Amino acid sequence: MIVFGIETSCDETAAAVVADDRRLLANVVLSQLDDHRPYGGVVPEIAARSHLEAVDAVAAEALRRAGVGFADLDGIAVTGGPGLIGGVLVGVMTAKAFALVHGLPFVAVNHLEGHALTARLTDDVAFPYLLLLVSGGHCQLLIAEGVGRFTRLGTTIDDALGEAFDKSAKILGLGFPGGPAVEQAALQGDPQHFALPRPMKGRDDCHFSFSGLKTAVRQAVERLPGGRATPQDAADLCASFQAAAGDVLADRVARAAALFRAAHPEGSTLVVAGGVAANRYLRTRLDAAAAENGLKLVAPPIALCTDNGAMIAWAGLEHLRLGRRDSLDFRPRPRWPLDPDAPPVGYAGAKA
Ligand code: KG4
Ligand code: ZN
């Protein structure tokens, strides 16, 4: 089985081809970072327009690199949500057109499930596994029980961790996207220099909160001479921020691991997924946290942590081989929780 996947839900126009023997035949990612940089964040209208301009060429390039044509494919997968709706629409319309014209099965993939199942493409991880999903829009702990089957243990009651990285970077004038910039700056910093809070640490549940951490970074800058961070201050703040985030993740993972092992004594794996999983410091911390709790950490290669088409093609393939497909009437979903039964947490605007 060979499946083609398209991802356009944020600021990467991406397409990929994967085979059911876990071969990644092509993975083309066109980043729009330069389009958004002047604005310090992703501008939805610009993203949608850029996806529209790029998607045909990116799709053609993925097929060319894979050395396959539409006749060789067994299905078309696309991110159907959640994400910036303009971009999702561009991908979904493109995928539907391919499916219709070439008479191929069409499957709409939950972007979060794309991240969640990547470790099955890269490392053949078996269900069930504990999953930490950390991206720009989400921060959740889930049990992955099967394709399309997730139980949410915890989520953030305010900001996602990637968002806190991005906002802290902005406060420190490190530019956009913030995650990689903070990671880079932290290499020259002292993680003990600034005492930042560890929000939610020690709590009985598995939830997160990162808005206070970002605020603490801002307040620390305001207390500096002239209210400005020197490059060394910025490096120290970045290192201190990462140390705080690492402590919180390790604590929340320990709590979730206990629940996971109670529910699934046979479970042995912690998977980390999403853009923040590209952070080397946090990967090291999570590796240790997993080991302390009797689990083995699986973290996909960094290029497959941030948004890409391979994760969508693979998740689509997993659904297709279970006989699932969507009709061409599928409507993009700006919100699409992995566990629709999870009770709401936090305030009304908290992320699902
Ligand atoms: O999964 P992703 O590419 O897009 C979403 O679905 O959100 O994640 C993007 C997020 C951004 O907040 C970005 O700053 C963060 O992942 N990120 C990182 C790193 N690389 C990307 N955060 C920390 N360290 C990194 N190296
Ligand atoms: Zn993502």
- Asked whether 162 lines ligand 1 (CB < 6 A), one says yes
**SS3 string of 63-80?**
HHHHCCCHHHCCEEEEEE
Question: One digit per residue, pLDDT tens: the chain, 352 residues?
Answer: 999 999 999 999 999 999 999 999 999 999 998 899 888 888 999 999 999 999 999 999 999 999 999 999 999 999 999 999 999 999 999 999 999 999 999 999 999 999 999 999 999 999 999 999 999 999 999 999 999 999 999 999 999 999 999 999 999 999 888 999 999 999 999 999 999 999 999 999 999 999 999 999 999 999 999 999 999 999 999 999 999 999 999 999 999 999 999 999 999 999 999 999 999 999 999 999 999 999 999 999 999 999 999 999 999 999 999 999 999 999 999 999 999 999 888 654 454 4
Q: How far does residue 272's CA lie from ligand 1's centre (Å)?
A: 12
> How many angstroms does the Cα of residue 68 sit away from the middle of ligand 1?
31
Kindly give the number of the ligand 1 atom that is closest to the alpha carbon of 137.
7
Integer Cα distance of 147 and 45 in angstroms: 32
Element (H, E) at 272: strand 269-273
In short, whether 183's Cβ falls inside 6 Å of ligand 1 is: yes
Please state the domain extents for the chain.
Answer: 2-117+303-321, 127-299
Residue 274 C-alpha from the chain's centroid: 2
Domain at 2-117+303-321: CATH code: 3.30.420.40
What's the CATH number for 127-299? Answer: 3.30.420.40
Does residue 306 have its Cβ closer than 6 Å to ligand 1?
Answer: yes
Cα–Cα distance, 209 to 306 (Å, whole number): 22
Alpha carbon of 28 to ligand 1 centroid (Å): 18
Given ligand 1 and candidates 182, 272, 283, 306, which is best to mutate, with the most ligand atoms within 8 Å of its CB? 306
Number of CB atoms found within 10 A of residue 227's CB: 8
The finding on whether 8 has its CB within 6 A of some atom of ligand 1 is: no
In ligand 1, the atom with minimum distance to the C-alpha of 12 is: 3
